[in-house]
Structure 1
Amino acid sequence: MFHCIRISPYFASRSDFDMAALKPFILSTLSVLSLTCVSNGWANENLVQTEGVSSGVLPTSTAERAINLDLGWDSKYVSQGRNNLEHGGIYWMNASVEYGNLTTYALVGRGDSQAYTEWNIGLEYALHFSEDVEAHVGYQRIEGYSNSRCQDNELFAELAYNAVTWLVPSASYVYSTEAAGYFIELSLHSYWQLSERFILAPYITQGLDFKYRTEDHNGRNHLQFGLEVNYDLADNMSLGGHISHSIAQADIEQEATANGDFSSQDQTYAGIHFNISF
């Protein structure tokens, strides 16, 4: 996806603070996908976000089609607690088409200070188990280009329980065919609508690596926390951003030590994006 936490919400302005209205925003910020692909020692990961459709029971589908365009920039390219580029940040452009429960998307990232390009093309299906429990499953193809080329195929799944906006637990799972491993993220988000158009969302995420990034260690990878914001410029346009801090845990620290790097592996970064829907 993505989802290292980027906001890609479609949340039209509303005059009241109600759960049904917030669900599309919640699901979009919880859709954190990861990928892996190594090129010259710099991994190629990304998080892709797509919007969920709030509805009743599985497998309810809406008939309306929506097209979304998201433009963004991150000060660092961080995923699974690691900075994936040696220099600078990364620009993003994501285009997605939603029809009912199905979303198809194409995302491209380009380094702002070094030669690096990444493509993510995939599809995602929304599952509505109940009013408060929703999930996504999907597939994506990844192509990365730097001094050499890398590619991967990934299967992913996400689950969120959004009965109350002030505490939304979620879990995401991604399996890499290239690495033959998987990565799990367990998150808590708290959504606060401070005005008709402005939403504030602090979050915390625990990442667990199982042969996805490293083969020698399974378990705790990183602990990340941060703050996401979103402001509706119009009913179909929004401006969002985030600031995040990632604390390296055993998986990252052991990998760095094995590579002769004994410096701190913690990461702090921020990002901004603009979203429009048609």
Structure 2
Amino acid sequence: MSSINMTFDFFLSNCSHGIRALSRTMATLMCLATSWSAFATAEYQPTAGFDVAWENNYITEGRDNLDHGGISWAVVNIEQNDLVVYAIVGRADQVNYVEWNLGLEYNLHLANNVDATVGYQRIEFYGDERGSDNEFFGALTVNGLTWFVPAINYTYATEAGGYFIELSLQSPWEINQHFTLTPYIVQGFDFQYSSEEHNGANHFQFGLEAEQKLNDSMALSAHISHSIAQGDIKQQASVDNIQGSLNQTYAGIHFELSF
């Protein structure tokens, strides 16, 4: 069922979500505006960003989170002295699903070529069922190497009571001063974050990202990615009696505006 030819019943079922989303949007924008005023009195002026994105499937941790269809995202963020406050809203284009992420993160410069990030986000999602979670996350990135940028990402979810680790390696290639191609690989490990019955290798993913800088404040990017299921996903599929391929291929586009 396409979003254009949705049934009237489907439209009604989403109206309440749309009203709540609009209220949350207004509250978020007011909050961010207040933060902007407070930040402006500091030594350095803050920077703000607005992003929109679309993916043909909603894939995280090697799993498709929707029965079918893709998802659109909108992001608002404000950064001041390495502190970032952000709000994210996502809406599925073919099923009844809305997700909100509200969070903050802080960037640490540990050494000349080593950066770290720590943060927290609150997740609320609405669909056939309503749910929420709290996530604490961190990342460590090594810059300055000739060909590669290695990184490790850690996420702990309070609702699941587990954590997820990703080891990644990317290699940005500047074709010219405006266009960059970045192949990457990711190895994910699940420890009761996505499933409770198995700890260890979850998925292996590789892909290619392309970014075109339109000017100093705007950029357009796209990616194509392929995820290969490993032990954690296979074990969960066996328990849920899921048949067929567990691998995922998906793509997306992303527009970024900063000011």
- TM-score between both structures, scaled by the size of structure 2: 0.83
List per-residue Cα deviations over 1:162-183 (Å, max 9, x = no partner): 1125211100000000000000
Within the alignment, does 1:80 sit opposite 2:61 as a pair?
yes
What is the RMSD computed on CA atoms of the aligned residues? Answer: 1.2
After TM superposition, where is structure 1 displaced by more than 3 Å over at least 4 residues in a row? none
Q: What do the CA deviations read for 1:211-247 (whole angstroms, capped 9, x no partner)?
A: 1011110000000000011100111000001000000
| Structure-2 residue corresponding to 1:219 | 200
**Structure 1 position 123 matched with structure 2 position 104:** yes
User: Quick check: 1:62–1:99 contact (8 Å CA) kept in 2?
Assistant: no
Deviation at 1:106, TM superposition (A): 0.2
Cα shift readout 1:118-137 (whole Å, capped 9, x = no counterpart)? 00000000000111000100
Which amino acid is 2:152 matched to?
Answer: A
Correspondence for 1:157 = 138
Q: Aligned in 2, Cα 1:69/1:140: closer, same or farther, shift over 3 Å? A: same
Give the number of aligned pairs: 218
Match of 1:93 among 67, 74, 77: 74
User: Separation in 1 of the partners of 2:184 and 2:99?
Assistant: 27
TM-score, structure 1 as length reference: 0.77
Q: Which amino acid aligns with 1:136?
A: T
The structure that is helix-richer by fraction is 2
- Quote the offset at 1:116 in angstroms: 0.4
**What is the match of residue 242 of structure 2?**
261
Give the structure 1 partner of residue 185 of structure 2: 204
The answer to whether the aligner puts 1:244 opposite 2:192 as a matched pair is no
Contact 1:165 1:190 in 2 (8 A): no
Q: Aligned match of 2:44 in 36, 43, 63?
A: 63
* Alpha-carbon distance between aligned partners in 2 of 1:262 and 1:104, rounded to the nearest angstrom: 41
Amino acid at match of 1:162: N
CA distance in 2, matches of 1:84, 1:165: 36
Q: Whose Rg is larger?
A: 2
CA distance, structure 1, for counterparts of residue 219 and residue 145 of structure 2:
23
Give aligned-pair identity as a percent: 52
Q: 1:94 to 1:80 in 2, by over 3 A?
A: same
Contact 1:70 1:275 in 2 (8 A): yes
Offset, 1:87? 1.3
Q: Is the 8 A contact 1:77 1:83 kept in 2?
A: yes
- Considering Cα pairs closer than 8 Å and 6+ residues apart, tell me whether 1 or 2 has the greater RCO: 1
Give 5+ residue unaligned stretches, structure 1. 1-60
SS at match of 1:234: coil
CA contact under 8 A between 1:236 and 1:276: conserved in structure 2? yes
Q: Which ranges in structure 2 are unaligned for 5 or more consecutive residues?
A: 1-41
Take 1:193 and 1:114, find their aligned partners in 2: how far apart are those partners? 38
Cα distance in structure 2, aligned partners of 1:97 and 1:127 = 17
Greater shift after overlay, 165-174 or 114-123? 165-174
